[in-house]
Structure 1
């Protein structure tokens, strides 16, 4: 199954006999909470999921967005009506990062059918999709997680992968180079990592570039279907979006969940700065 779905295609599915479970995961780094925005209008039937509280554990030594407590994540998914035999579609406000985090977690936990609404809520409204302010009360799902369906990396594994394979840094180029670091202890990147900003995977409207364009982009960085590929970002959120783009391009990749927020917190870990070698 394709990892993304267009707004017109989703509109048809929601009008069908077996509509997918819809999850609203609106979130912004350092921005206002997503629930108040959800309450002003969301896809009919969509249940709000809180990224910070339900898709991540509290910040700490493992980074700003560690893997969530499995019981917390499972309860949130069941509350939203997620079951193994039901398709799931996740969306956010258009950036795609939060939706990709939910997609990745569900796939990592073994759900077989999860897609991201390409372009998020703006694409839905542009396609004529309706909005609702009603809070749904879906039948509780029976989702049983089976963690490990997608690969993850520890800090040491990410460092080793940068030496033997392809490790992509999904953050903004200036953060990769260490010129600015607005959040974490120090700027720079994991030695050997390639700068691959996730923002380059999408068009101006937030929808993904065509699979062949994405494949060409990643191939130029050495990331191909036959290579060993890993991705990190600041805290494991935008990196999930990069893995989604890689998936659209047909390239499997592992996620370093702790990402730079974990890596940079340890002063004994090496930090590289400046542009990547030409």
Structure 2
């Protein structure tokens, strides 16, 4: 690909921290990734390999021990308004309505009531939750809360969305529905998405590209281009073969490189 299309670059990132027992934990090891504009990229890897740590460093929520993060060729130091984040837990403010949660970022930016109303309406329509605009988080299902969290990230109009296992806490059926919903939103907006997941199936269903990480200290083991047309059929032979290949890579990491907890 043309290097000029690189939207986000993590260069030679490593991360060390001290465990509760006082030991030094090497979470990431010289990890470099390139994310291209409008790409949907998923990262999978063994538990504890540093996936979330990598995402939090890119988001500016953690500092790397070594390495740099670049956005459109400019080094990032801290958070960036063009980069949004969706966490596994919905992080909605319980005392605010759905509409007010969606426009929370716009409130911080001191946008007018008119602008907030227009943006809220657009995203309420997009996530098909207009009738719940005045509802509170406790009145919503997990899937509905996550739709609101995604809408809140989109309402700030970021160029890049980082997602840390956003569907991990959902039941299997709701998770599949949310995967479809996310693809629908992505196809409408064509944002650049970097998505962390434990699920190989989820990665294949969603991504243009899958990055497989090694065991801790994590680094990129392999990059796989997913060239199957959307919508993807989980019953396809190609789908099953790719799933098996990735699972074998992960199993190899677990079996041959057992992690000793510090």
Superposition TM-score, scaled by structure 2 size: 0.26
Q: Does 1 or 2 have the higher relative contact order (CA < 8 Å, sep 6+)? A: 2
The structure with the greater share of residues assigned to helix is: 2
Q: TM-score, normalised by structure 1?
A: 0.25
Q: Which has the higher strand share?
A: 2
